[in-house]
Every structure is written in structure tokens, then in C-alpha cells.
Amino acid sequence: MRVTVHRKAHFNAAHRLYRKDWSFEKNDEIFGKCNNPNYHGHNYELTVSVTGEIDKDTGYVIDIKVLKDIIKTEIEDAFDHKNLNVEVPEFKDLNPTVENIVVVIYNKIKPKLNKDFDLEITLYETPRNFVTYSGL
């Protein structure tokens, strides 16, 4: 029997959406106020969903404390109160759109899990704007 376990977390981070190879005018046309050279911030809400078989001995799919620690180490410690463009190596040459952020989060968490688990990441940039990624 496969069950999905969800863990919520959050982090606050600043970013600027732009391409270095475009003019300021083109960046402004495409990214609008998100192209602010002084950056802007979001209160990101994260849901990490792990699907797997229930362990017969523990009754768990995954120990929530283990999942909580992975999220803290891999995501919260790495992203919280950071400028994604400047302080997070994964975004040195990658535009930190919410779409790219969710893929980076997935790629940081997936290797820490049992290979038999399915993983889905849901990331809210605002209460109305969110993305999901499951590695497909």
C-alpha cells in the first residue's frame, strides 16, 4: 500500500529575474518589476510530498523527523534569508524563477531519500502563484 506523507516548511528569500545577456530594457519588458536591480523578496511556502510503501515494522513511509531534517539542511539553511542570485550557488547562472527554484529543491532532496520513494515538491511564491515538480 503506497501512502503520501507531506511536510510543510517555509523560507524567505530575495531574487531578481533577469538574463545577463539581455539589455535592461528587454529584461524590464519580460520580467517587469521582478527585474528590480535592487532585488525583491518572497515568503516562500514549501510542501515536500514523499510517496512510498508503509514499513511493516514502524508503520511509517518515512520518519517525519528525518524528512524535517533533510528540508532544514538542504533547503531552509541554504535559502532562508538569502539573496538567491548572489548567495546560492545553484543560481549563479540560472534565473531564480519559481519554476527553476522548485527543480533545484527537488534535485537537492531527492538524493537524500530512499530510491524507492516518489517525490513531489510544491512551492508557493505567493498565496496565488505556485508550482509543483515531481521529476518528470
What's the sign of the alpha-carbon dihedral 53, 56, 60, 62?
Answer: negative
Which one of the listed residues 15, 42, 120, 125 is annotated catalytic? Answer: 125
Which one of the listed residues 34, 45, 87, 90 is annotated catalytic? Answer: 34
Residue 1 in contact with residue 54, Cβ under 8 Å?
Answer: yes
Beta bridge partners of 82: 13
Beta bridge partners of 118: 51
**Residue 100: what are its φ and ψ, rounded to 5°?**
-70, -35
Which one of the listed residues 10, 29, 81, 99 is annotated catalytic? Answer: 81
25 part of the active site: no
34 part of the active site: yes
Cα separation, 124 vs 77, whole angstroms: 18
15 part of the active site: no
Q: Give the amino acid at 39.
A: Y
Positions annotated as catalytic residues are 34, 81, 125
